[in-house]
Structure 1
Amino acid sequence: MSGSTFGLLFRVTNFGESHGPAIGCVVDGCPPGMALSEADIQPDLDRRRPGTSRHVTQRSEADQVEILSGVYEGRTTGTPIALLIRNTDQRSRDYGNILDTFRPGHADYTYHHKYGLRDPRGGGRSSARLTAPTVAAGAIAKKWLRERHGTTFAGHLSQLGEIVVPFESQEHVPNNPFFAANATDIPRLEAYMDQLRREGDSCGARIDVIARGVPVGLGEPLYDKLDADIAYAMMGVNAVKGVEIGAGFAAVAERGSVHGDELTPEGFAANRSGGVLGGISTGQDITVSLAIKPTSSIRTPRRSVDRAGAPTTVETFGRHDPCVGIRATPIAEALLALVLMDHALRQRAQCGDVSLPVGPIPAQAPPSA
């Protein structure tokens, strides 16, 4: 009932607060026998962690993961895997001025009215810090899917504020602080972010993520469709306000003669469906895009009210990302992996005995991500 658990057969329960002693999750349902250590999880956490460039929050957290249970002699046991990440660089004093006020665009107002109280330190439970355990759990799902099905995940930032970032090559993503699949536009993105920080303002972002090597047949009709669960998961990411799968909203302007992906003996001619038909995976690439709103915690003074309803002005201090979307790529990858992992286990449980002639791998349109 608390909204902290995700998944049916591969279940992840997230716990902790931004300025508490630790954050973490419990992963239940991971099949036994898979080799697993902290070294399998840490690389994705390192990609997401704060303080990695001047363009993100300067909170300095190592985000070192600890496996507390569910692994014996280097292999998963099939029992719950508890993952712990200790908080080491909290500065709760930065939030003293918002104890009795609500930051516009933030969850302060809604948390206060839902629970009757809230943890104002760094946003408490509503902080993007709580995406770290999700990334850790996603690393486990990625490993199982890669070893069992050859499924891989790749994401990149395709728009920063009003700047559209052209796709050049996925190889560029690890080589810049923006997760951009681009090498030529990085100076422009840096100048844009530096200007935002000087102005005490923020911007949004668009993130594209893709899963390749997805088995055919994942997803359930009617209400557990694969694309519905992907959208549900992505909307659980802090600051996400929109999700597109495949052509997304561009499908509105397309005709049926164009939008429907034709089939040929060699495979699908295109992938406007984003790899999902009728809520079930086609075996093509799963393509997802996220719209992330501007960071709500900014230095620019904004109008608000206090707990008594009196008018006031709020200016947020502390260490914040001028664009939370910059570090969202590994989070989106992790959530897509969690959804596919859960549905892969559900498919194995219900339809493991289904046997059909296997044709060639579905053809793909030229990749855009």
Structure 2
Amino acid sequence: MNSKTLFIYDENETGYRFNDTHPFNQKRLVLTVDLLRKAGALPDSYVNAPTSASREQLLTVHSEEYIQAVEALSFPSPETAALHVAGKYGLDTEDTPFFPRMHEVTSMVVGGSIGAVEAVLSGAREHALHLGGGLHHALPSKGAGFCVYNDAAVAIEYAKRVYGARVLYIDTDVHHGDGVQWTFYTDPDVCTFSIHETGKYLFPGTGAVSERGDGNGFGKAINVPVEPFTEDASWLECFEEVLAKAAAQFKPDLIVSQHGCDAHAFDPLAHVHCSMDVYRDMPRFIHRLAHEHCGGRWVALGGGGYDIWRVVPRAWSLLWMELSDHPLIRELERKPDLALPKSWLDEWQPHSEEALPRTWLDPVTSWTPMPRREEIELKNRHTKELAMMYL
């Protein structure tokens, strides 16, 4: 394993919890960490706890008024005045309702992502992973899409202000990385790349290929909106070809990637039909780009993922094993049917309503091909060409 790789985690991050029935369930962090430990892939020496972001750090992206609203709504019983403005700040919706200790817990999430950037840009570590992060929908003065503070945007801003870094942000979540894009839409030193299901059918409704940045940032926003029911080959074709060209042109000092794993066929909140193969292949491709273009400097964050039993632990474990160059990730190339640790399956199967997968990767040869596969692939190829028009 690469000893210069950092895993940022604190079980207290599971306190980022809206309510008992909300699909954003950070129990997936516990499941992932347990899977990695039972696989022998996460020694304690690689793990650091996050520290909270300061108010000054939050203010580099979020407005003072918004932070005050978040703080006021974080009490167990918020005052009437705070409740009256919750809607103005997007914190009274079904998607993003306020919850106790919201400011405290989300500040820790932001601090974890800043800590990952600091570890990498200071030279202390080569790569860093913060799975509690990736809250990419939050806007400067509004919560949205399960996201209160935008840790990715604050961490990128930290990289710029403290280290003068040019940052390539890569968003693999099935939902468009809108909050990060809009934060840096006119910034020539941040290139945002997002591959996602088209906003014609999916939240947040943005991320069209025509969104390319504005002013000095024109050309630095790159979107690849794919069709519903896209499968592995087409997703990876679009991802790799556009991203390779973007990275070569932009020449980043740092890559920050967001690894929502909700493009998987099992995910209940989207319509893309990818398998676990893409969650092995995308990190491998980003890893290569980091070493080709920015001396290996790579910070990876979590993100969406709503099948917390069958998808998220495997996908995020594959990400960590790629980051840390664990032997298991290479063994999967020779043994694609490699089994998950029996101890992990025995521990968690009693808690899952679905049968847990027995292997790291999915048995895709037994999956029924999607109808209209050729038509979907042709549409995605056309989108890919449009995305590369100015690269």
- TM-score normalised by length of structure 2: 0.29
Q: Whose helix proportion is higher, 1 or 2?
A: 2
Q: Determine which structure has more spread, i.e. the larger CA radius of gyration.
A: 1
